Structure 1
């Protein structure tokens, strides 16, 4: 059941939440104006100042995480957009990436602050719907970022086309394996649009185009690397031959890499990652990852704030913004690393 936040009350979740306020439309200093030069409350100068303050846009952003490489980059893009556009960004998040109760409290807090626009990176695509509806009932435009929202209308959705991205990975593995092989699929969370779409995109593409490729294990790991490691170890014990592993995020694939290495099967199994973590890119460069699906998290965060600011000002916005993907392989990994200024571990 959802908990309501009363005005002025700060929940325990928010005390441990991510809080980053970016105020960039003129900082109020403590210095007094020079005597004789101060604008009177009714002067044109004072009126212009008051108007500028009233025009300032405040965007609330309910993020998922401040620690995973993907979300760190996305959040940086969001902050840069706020800086460029002269907006105030209030960024809050639950203690854990899959904490729906914490995120509901975060979103309610942002709504109660009467922000001009709201960005939501849903930890549960269905679970956030009630508070999203509440925001829109109060005429606050809502932008979904990274993860789709089900059961509530949003003004725009800024994200990767996760179905197409997963299809890229499936096609790559199908070609590499000649249309035959045993696959392990380590998913994120089926309760989130991102996890559901990556799972279904990969699975459905294989079934349609490579019917002789068999998924011997499909495990929902709830975005937890420890669960992915256990699932991979279980798969290795149950199946004498595993030809490839794909997953919903690089945390799972890095765990699979560890399990395969410990089982002395790393050189016999293709790994295709998702998210282009620096460590995963290092493995692509070294050859122990066959490929990795790279998203554009910085662009995603930037476009989400840009779209929210436009919506808050009553300007027209696109209903769907696809920020694109790239399949990073050994033949283009160096260029990708260079183009994106990535430092490998």
Structure 2
């Protein structure tokens, strides 16, 4: 039986005059693949006060609300108008596509978007770029979105989950470890996150993945997947889930089944996930600092509208947080959304 330790760090609507200058606040972008970069010089702002649509894949995920709060703070500082438009469910791909179509008729200067189906979104994003709208993808590291876009802002998803695999090997790797995986809804995000974890444990003979199923990105799906996994494999030592919501759901399943000696690993750094780690219900997560990601995305978008963004992908940092680290992050509530439920 593994001795489970719980104990490691976060990064970092409203009116910009087209003539307002502002400072860069993001790492040097990395070029995207050949043919994936839309031309910055063809962006044609329509409004004296830049009007920007923030379009995450769903409102059900506080993670995207936290990104939006980061976007909002920069907009307030710089005087840009920002509005958010998204379906409630991350599975409502048609709903998001309809919203993007609607935004294309609203004389916006830029779109900051995330999607769970890049191929469904691509034709509409192509229309936006053709209209001279600045288009940035958030919470991603896609180097070759199916149609050229102006920029991508997000962490390296495969590298992030590789880090938590490295952490698991360092923490538990001296003994045989039976692993279950809860995937997200099929698509780029799930492929990269699960792939990074699998890359990390590859070649370590003590780690054996015995089951991998989808949890649909939400707590309910994670609970269902966790229950299915743990009822079929009650001797699992570790469950890795591709986001914090699913691992929280899996933690409810483990508790209901009376299984205490199992490490539960997530990905995101969502406030609720961090609080579950602080409480000892989840073991660790990849903290991807969505609030600071939103700030970087907004700075880059405004630079693109001013014609000064060089193009490319902005990589935002990640860290692995166990119980001690989660508490440290929760002690900076101004960088989180929603706010923690109590003081830490």
**What's the TM-score bracket when you normalise by the shorter of the two chains?**
0.7 to 0.9
Task: Supply the distance in 2 between the matched residues of 1:234 and 1:116 (Cα, whole angstroms).
Answer: 47
1:131-176 deviation per Cα after TM superposition (whole angstroms, max 9, x unaligned): 1111112222210001347311211110111111101111111222
Q: 1:119 aligns with which of 112, 115, 121?
A: 112
Which residue of the partner structure matches residue 239 of structure 2?
245
2:14 paired residue among 23, 38, 51: 23
The answer (yes or no) to whether the contact 1:146–1:160 under 8 Å persists in 2 is yes
Instruction: Give, in angstroms, the shift of residue 334 of structure 1.
Output: 2.6
- Give runs of aligned pairs for residues 220-299 of structure 1, distance below 5 A: 220-266=214-260, 268-299=261-292
Normalised to the residue count of structure 2, the TM-score between the two structures is 0.79
Question: What per-residue deviation string (whole Å, max 9, x for no partner) do you get for residues 247-295 of structure 1?
Answer: 11111111111111111112x1011122233343233223332212111
Distance 1:303 1:265 in 2: 41
Q: Is the aligned partner of 1:103 residue 2:96?
A: yes
2:177 equivalent to 1:181: yes
Q: How many residues align?
A: 295
Name the residue aligned to 2:42.
none
Structure 1 segments of 4+ aligned residues over 4 angstroms from their partners: none
* CA shift for structure 1 position 322: 1.3
Runs of 5+ in structure 1 lacking a partner?
1-21, 27-52
Instruction: Identify if the C-alpha distance between structure 1 residues 282 and 141 changes in structure 2 by more than 3 Å, giving closer, same or farther.
Output: closer
Task: Give TM-score scaled by structure 1 length.
Answer: 0.79
CA deviations over 1:23-44 (Å, ceiling 9, x no partner) = 3269xxxxxxxxxxxxxxxxxx
* Residue of structure 2 equivalent to 1:190: 186
Instruction: Give the aligned CA root-mean-square deviation in angstroms.
Output: 2.1
Could you tell me which runs of 5 or more consecutive residues in structure 2 were left unpaired when the two chains were aligned: 1-12, 18-45
User: Aligned partners of 2:127, 2:96: CA distance in 1, in Å?
Assistant: 14
For residues 69-93 of structure 1, the C-alpha deviation after alignment (integer angstroms, 9 at most, x for no partner) is: 2122111111122111211113211
CA deviation after TM superposition for structure 1 residue 314, in Å: 1.7
Whether 2:328 is the aligned partner of 1:332: answer no
Larger RCO (alpha carbons 8 Å, 6+ apart): 2
CA contact (8 A) 1:275 1:294 kept: yes
